[in-house]
C-alpha cells in the first residue's frame, strides 16, 4: 500500500480506470478531455515498443490539449511492475502524484484496477493516493456486470470515491440497470462503438459526457 493521500490538488478532475485492458479507457479519456477542456496525464505508460503511447494519441485526438508527460514509460506491453523489471528499473510509488495543475484534469491509469504497479502496490492504491473521483470504464456486453462490480468493490475497499461508470459499446439496458442497482453507482454515459476513432468522432462523442461539475459535484 501507499501510505497517506497525495498532497496534490484533489478537485477539478477525475481518474479514469477500467474493468480490463482494452475497454476503451483512452477513447473515453479523450472524450472527457474534449468535453471539459481538461489537461491529460498518464503517470504510467507501457507498450511503447509497439505504439507511440496514449499521451501522443490523446494529443492527436484533442488538438490543443495540454499533455503532462508520464512519470514512468516502458517499452514492454505488460503491467507496469513487470515492464519495469524487464528494463532493470524500479517504480517509486511516491513519485506517482497528481501534477500541480489548476484547471480540469483527466488522469488515466494503466490497465485495470488491480494491475500491479510495484511490489505491494496495485493501481487501486495509486488511485486512492491521488484522491481524485474515479470514472470506471466498462464494456457494455456480456461479462461486464461481474467485472464492473468487482472493480467497484476493490476501489471502495481502499476508500476511493466513485464518480460513476461509462459503458462502452452497444446499448445494453439490462446490464446498465444491474450495474447501477447492484453497484450503487451512476452510469454517467453510454458510449456507442466507434469504428473510426478520430478528432471528429471524439468531438461528437464528447457531447454525451455530462458537465464536470455534474460528475464530481
Annotated binding site for substrate: 46
42 is catalytic: yes
Binding residues for Mg(2+): 26, 54, 108
Annotated binding site for ATP: 22-27, 54, 108-111, 192-194
Contact yes or no for 118/90 (Cβ under 8 A): yes
Cell 512519470 belongs to residue? 71
C-alpha neighbours within 13 Å on the C-beta side of residue 129: 20
The Cα-based distances of 84 to 78, 119, 171, 179 in angstroms read: 9, 11, 38, 35
Phi, psi angle pair for 83, to nearest 5°? -60, -40
Residues marked as binding?
A: 22-27, 46, 54, 108-111, 192-194
Select which of 42, 129, 147, 176 is catalytic. 42
Catalytically annotated residues: 42
Amino acid at each position: 500500500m501507499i501510505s497517506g493521500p497525495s498532497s496534490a490538488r484533489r478537485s477539478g478532475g477525475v481518474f479514469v480506470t477500467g474493468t480490463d485492458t482494452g475497454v476503451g479507457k483512452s477513447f473515453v479519456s479523450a472524450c472527457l478531455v474534449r468535453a471539459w477542456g481538461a489537461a491529460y496525464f498518464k503517470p504510467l505508460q507501457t507498450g511503447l515498443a509497439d505504439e507511440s503511447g496514449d499521451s501522443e494519441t490523446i494529443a492527436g485526438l484533442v488538438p490543443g490539449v495540454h499533455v503532462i508527460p508520464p512519470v514512468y514509460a516502458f517499452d514492454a506491453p505488460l503491467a507496469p511492475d513487470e515492464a519495469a523489471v524487464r528494463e532493470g528499473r524500479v517504480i517509486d510509488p511516491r513519485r506517482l502524484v497528481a501534477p500541480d495543475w489548476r484547471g480540469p484534469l483527466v488522469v488515466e491509469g494503466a490497465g485495470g484496477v488491480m494491475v500491479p504497479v510495484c511490489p505491494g502496490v496495485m493501481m487501486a492504491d495509486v488511485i486512492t493516493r491521488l484522491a481524485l473521483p474515479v470514472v470506471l470504464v466498462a464494456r457494455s456486453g456480456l461479462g461486464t456486470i461481474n467485472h464492473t462490480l468487482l472493480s467497484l468493490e476493490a476501489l471502495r475497499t481502499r476508500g476511493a470515491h466513485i464518480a460513476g461508470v461509462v459503458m462502452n459499446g452497444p446499448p445494453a439496458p439490462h446490464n446498465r440497470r444491474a450495474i447501477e442497482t447492484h453497484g450503487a453507482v451512476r452510469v454517467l454515459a453510454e458510449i456507442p462503438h466507434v469504428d473510426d476513432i478520430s478528432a471528429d468522432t471524439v468531438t461528437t462523442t464528447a457531447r454525451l459526457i455530462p458537465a464536470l461539475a455534474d460528475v464530481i459535484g
